[in-house]
Structure 1
C-alpha cells in the first residue's frame, strides 16, 4: 500500500519524535555510545527549545520504560497540586473552573525531575552531555516551525500588555519568530549553563552526584526561587482577572518524580501497558476490553462506528472514575463481566448521551460542569478548534489541525503536546509524552527563560470527585504514552500529542498494526500511522473551558466517502476535516527474534520524523 515514507529498519537504534531536531539529537546520543534513555532525555530538552508552544521544563512528562531484561515501569513526571490549591480557595475567588492560564493553574512542575531521574537510574551520560544539544539550539538559534509564530501572534496583545517577560523572549524587537530565521532563547541557555556549573561543583566527577545536585538546584536552588517568585506575581489569566498562584518553596522541595507499575490489559496475545488511573491511559485499555471477539472488517463503517461508540463509553468512565483524588476501580473497569454489560449498550445508532458505568454497583458521580455540557447547557470549545471570539466553533477545512494549540486574544488556550519513542541496539525501549509549560500558559520566568505549567486546569472545583482539585494529588492528565508487549516481550513503543484525542488515535494506530498484514518482515508502522484517522468529542474536554459536542465525529477527508455517509445514516454528526489533520503519532519497534528495529513518524504537521540505522 502507499505510504508517505518507508518504515525505517535497522539494528543500531531508532528514534521517532514530533520534531526532526529532537529525533536527530537523540540519534546523535546513540551514535556517541548512549542508550535509549540518554537519547530520550537529550531529545526531551531539545523539544523544550524547538516546540516551546507544546512543552517546557516546568511542564510534565509521563513515560513508560522497558529496560532490557527488566520489568516495564511507568515513570511519573506529573506533579501534584500545591498545598494551597484547595477547592475552597479557588471558589473563594469566584471561580467555577480552574483558569486555563496563569499561576492558579500551575501544578508542581514535573518534567525536569522526571528526565533527571530517568538519566540517573537508567542512563549513562552526564547532565552536561545530554543538555548540550538544547543549549546549542537555545544559544545559537534554530529555524522555528511556522506554528510557533502563529501561536505567538494569537497572544501578541496579551504579551505586550500583560506578560512582558514573554514578549521579551518571544517577540524580540516586536517580531514573532519566523521560519528560516534563527530564533534564540539565551535566558534558557544561561539557566542550563548555570545549573550544570553548580551541579558539577557540588557533585564533582561523580555522574550520579551531579544529577542529584541538578535535581536539588531545580527544587531548592536558584531555579526554585525564581519559579516561586513568578507564582507570586499577579498575572492576568483566562478568568479575566489577575491572580497569584499557591506554588511555594515547600511544594517544590517536597516532591520528586517516581516509579510505579503500569496498568495493563491482555488482548489477542498482546499486552498493552499504560500509566494508571491518574491519567487517561486506561481509557485505551477499556476501549480494547469493549471490543467483541470478532471485529468487523478493518476500515469499514461498522468498524469505525464500533470504535467510536466504544470510545464514548470508555471516556464516560474516565469522567466518572479516573483521577488521583480517589481509588480508581481499574480491575473492575477492565473486567470481562463489566465490559460485556457495557458492550451491550452499543447499537447500530450513534449515542448522544454521556453514559458512565457502575463498576461494582457504585453510582457514578459527575461534576456539575460535566452535567451541564452533556445536557447542552454550555458551548463547545474543543482542543484544536478556534476559541470563542477567534472563529466559529467547528472544525473547518484549512483550519488548525486537531490537537494543535488554539489560543484566543485573552490568552484562552488548550495547549498541545510532544512525543518521543526510542529503542536502542541493546533492546532498551522508552515512550514519553512531554507537555505543559507552554509559552502561552504562563508568563516566562524572566530569570529562567521558560514559563510555569497549567495542568491544574484539568481538575474539577467540585468536592468529592476522583479528579477534584486536591493538595498533594495529581490532576488527571491526558498525557498517555504506550508500550506494547507480544507474548510478554516488549516489541513496540508509541504515542501522540492531542489531548483528549490521544487514546483515540493510538487505538486506531495499534489496531492497524495488529490487524493488518505485516510488511517488509515486520510491523507496518508507517502504514498504520498514515491510515485515515478520526476522533470524537462526545465527552467533557479536559482543557478550559471544557466543552463537549455530543454525537460528533471528525474524520479526515481521505476516509472512504461511503463510510462517511454510512456513519451519517447511523446518526453521527460527522465533520470532514483536512486530509492530513488527525494525529501526530510516533512509533518504534523491535523484533525480539531477529533484533531488527523499526521506526515511523507522522507526516501530519510536517515536522515529525523518525531516524535510525
Structure 2
C-alpha cells in the first residue's frame, strides 16, 4: 500500500463517556454539551441536528428531511425513523405534463416535499430522549440569534445565487442579501428561524408533560402557524425555477397535516460477523447492501484498499447494484420492491459473474424473480459539463476554478451526525434539504422547503414514477452495523449518489483493510458517476471513475488500462465521512470516534 495508513490527520478519539462526530464543529460541540449535562445519545443527536440547520444552511434547514437509524442500549435491533416527507397530493403526472415538462425542476416551488425533519427529530426526542425540546433547541437558537461564523462554502454558495435571488426570489433576497453578501469568517444570524422556533416552544409550553409538549410543538409545525405560512406561500406564489419558466407550487396545509414521521424496520445484510442496517428502498440505502453482497464472494482481504483490484471490484459491483436501484427502488408503499430477492445469495452469485476484468460501459439491471427491469430514459452529460462534486458545491475543479453552476443555481448537499453515549445508545442521522439555494424562503418563516421531489421521474411505468403522496427515493442514507448481535458502528456522509459509495469504502477499509476509524476516513477515496444522478438535470457519465488525487500513480494507470474513464480530482476531495463505534473491553464500554478532515469544518469530540 502506497498510502501511509500510520499517519492520520487527527487522532481516532477513544474513551468511555460519550462520542459525537458531525459535519460541523459547532453541532458536535452542542451535542457533546448535551451528553455532559446528562442527556443521552438521542437528546444529543437532536441538539446537534438543530444546530446543523443553522450553521450549514446551504446543506440543510428547518424545511428539510432526515432519515435516522438508532439502537437503544442493550438492543439487538436497529430502528429507522423516516423523516422523509412525501410529495403533495396534487403532484400528478398530468399536472407536470400539462406544464410541458419532461423532468422535474431541481429548484423552485414545484419539487417541494413535506418537510419531515422537525417531525422526525421530535419523534426521536419524545420516544427515546430524556430532555425537553426547549433544552435541545437552545444551542440552535443561540446561534440563530447571536450569530455564527460563515464557512467559505456558505459564502460561495450565497454569492453564486444572489443575482438570481434579487431577480427572481424576493423573499430569499430579503433574508440573505439585504445587508450585503457575507464573506468567509463573517458572523451572520438567522433571526427569522429563531423567531419560528421560539414561537413553537411558546405555543407548546402550556401542554401537559414532556411528551405532550413535544407533540404540541409538532402540531404547531404541521397543523399550526408554520403549516399556514407554507400553505399561503405555495398556493399563491409563482416563481422561476431551473426549467427557466415561472411556476406555482403544489404543497398545501393538508399535505402538512397528513404527515407523521414513521418508525420502520431497517433492511439488513450479514457480512461475516457484522450485520449492516440501512433504511428501506425509499432511500438508496440498500444499494450498499447489494454491493456488499456482490463483493462477499471476492478475496477482499488480499486487496490493498488503494490498489486497482480493490477499486475495480468495488466500482464494477457498484455499477450492478446502482442499476438495480434505478430499476427497482422506490417507496414500498406504492412500488413493489423485490428486496428479499435483491439481497439473496443466489441473486448476488448470478450477478457477480457479470464482473469482468475490464470496465463495463453498460447499465445492467437484474431480473429478480424473473421480472424484467425497466430503466428511465438515459440522459448523458455533455462533455465538459460540471461533475457531481462541482454541482453539489463540494469541490473546486482540478484547475482551481470555482464550482460551475447552471442557471444560477448550485445544488445543495447534506449533513451527518453520529452519537454514542456511556450507556450504549447509538444513533446515525443524515439531515438534508431545505437548502437556501434550492427553493425560495417562505415569508414569515425565514427558511426554504425541500426540493427532494426532483428525484421522481415523469416517465410512466418506473419504480420512481411520480406518484401523489409518495416518498421520493432519496439519496440520504445513514449506516449502522451490529457485531456479534450488538450495536457496534454508526457512520455516514453527505454526497448525494456518492454517499453509499464512500460509506461502503469506509466499512471495507475497517473490516478488510485493518484500519481504525480515522485511518479509514483519511484514506484516499473514489466514486463512480456511471448511472444517472438523482438530482436535476439527472445526467449520467457512463464509466466515469473519479479518483482522489492521492491515489498511487500505478493504480491510476492500471485502472485506465482496464478501461475505466478515469478523472483524477484534488488530493482531499472525496468523502465527508463521520463515524462512532463501541465495543466491550474488559467489562468497560470502549467508545471511538473519527471525523473527516476534508473541507475543514467536520469534527469529532468525546471522552
Which range, TM-score by smaller chain? over 0.9
Quick check: 1:437 aligned with 2:440?
no
Quick check: 1:561 aligned with 2:553?
yes
1:314 is matched with: 321
Which of 63, 72, 84 in structure 1 is aligned with 2:90? 84
2:521 is matched with: 529
1:17 is matched with: 22
- State the alpha-carbon separation in 1 of the partners of residues 189 and 443 from structure 2: 15
Quick check: 1:278 aligned with 2:286?
no
Which of 244, 249, 258 in structure 2 is aligned with 1:240? 244
Structure 2 residue matching 1:445: 3-state secondary structure: coil
2:338 is matched with: 329
1:360 is matched with: 369
- State the alpha-carbon separation in 1 of the partners of residues 572 and 282 from structure 2: 31
Which of 294, 300, 318 in structure 2 is aligned with 1:290? 294
- State the alpha-carbon separation in 1 of the partners of residues 224 and 513 from structure 2: 52
Count of residues paired in the alignment: 592
Quick check: 1:499 aligned with 2:496?
yes
- State the alpha-carbon separation in 1 of the partners of residues 119 and 105 from structure 2: 25
Residue 471 and residue 381 in structure 1: after superposition, are their counterparts in 2 closer, same or farther (change >3 A)? farther
Q: How far has the Cα of 1:536 moved from its partner?
A: 0.6
Q: Which has the higher mean CA deviation after the structures are superposed, 298-307 or 254-263?
A: 298-307
Which of 221, 226, 238 in structure 2 is aligned with 1:223? 226
Q: Deviation digits for residues 2-34 of structure 1, max 9, x if unmatched? A: 000000011111000000000000001111111
1:123 is matched with: 129
TM-score of the superposition, structure 2-length normalised? 0.95
Stretches of structure 1 that go unaligned for 5 or more consecutive residues are 401-405, 519-523
- State the alpha-carbon separation in 2 of the partners of residues 339 and 472 from structure 1: 33
Contact 1:407–1:414 (Cα < 8 Å) also in 2: no
- State the alpha-carbon separation in 1 of the partners of residues 298 and 486 from structure 2: 23
- State the alpha-carbon separation in 1 of the partners of residues 285 and 304 from structure 2: 23
Contact 1:101–1:413 (Cα < 8 Å) also in 2: no
- State the alpha-carbon separation in 1 of the partners of residues 98 and 186 from structure 2: 47
Which of 42, 55, 59 in structure 2 is aligned with 1:50? 55
1:65 is matched with: 70
Q: How far has the Cα of 1:454 moved from its partner?
A: 0.1
- State the alpha-carbon separation in 2 of the partners of residues 110 and 177 from structure 1: 29
Q: Deviation digits for residues 33-59 of structure 1, max 9, x if unmatched? A: 110011000111100100000001111
Quick check: 1:581 aligned with 2:573?
yes
Q: How far has the Cα of 1:395 moved from its partner?
A: 5.0
Contact 2:163–2:408 (Cα < 8 Å) also in 1: no
- State the alpha-carbon separation in 1 of the partners of residues 26 and 292 from structure 2: 34
Q: How far has the Cα of 1:228 moved from its partner?
A: 1.2
- State the alpha-carbon separation in 1 of the partners of residues 404 and 439 from structure 2: 13
Residue 84 and residue 430 in structure 1: after superposition, are their counterparts in 2 closer, same or farther (change >3 A)? same
- State the alpha-carbon separation in 2 of the partners of residues 395 and 270 from structure 1: 38
- State the alpha-carbon separation in 2 of the partners of residues 88 and 379 from structure 1: 34
Stretches of structure 2 that go unaligned for 5 or more consecutive residues are 1-5
Residue 377 and residue 562 in structure 1: after superposition, are their counterparts in 2 closer, same or farther (change >3 A)? closer
- State the alpha-carbon separation in 1 of the partners of residues 229 and 184 from structure 2: 31
Q: How far has the Cα of 1:464 moved from its partner?
A: 2.0
Contact 1:588–1:600 (Cα < 8 Å) also in 2: yes
Structure 2 residue matching 1:280: 3-state secondary structure: coil
- State the alpha-carbon separation in 1 of the partners of residues 543 and 252 from structure 2: 43
Structure 2 residue matching 1:497: 3-state secondary structure: coil
- State the alpha-carbon separation in 2 of the partners of residues 82 and 331 from structure 1: 30
1:97 is matched with: 103
Quick check: 1:6 aligned with 2:8?
no
Residue 275 and residue 407 in structure 1: after superposition, are their counterparts in 2 closer, same or farther (change >3 A)? farther
Q: Deviation digits for residues 277-325 of structure 1, max 9, x if unmatched? A: 1110000001100012422412221111000100111100100000113
Quick check: 1:486 aligned with 2:492?
no
- State the alpha-carbon separation in 1 of the partners of residues 382 and 156 from structure 2: 32
Matches within 5 A, 1:98-497: 98-173=104-179, 175-201=180-206, 203-204=207-208, 206-232=209-235, 233-291=237-295, 292-295=297-300, 296-299=302-305, 300-324=307-331, 325-368=334-377, 370=378, 372-373=379-380, 381-386=386-391, 396-398=398-400, 408=405, 410-497=407-494
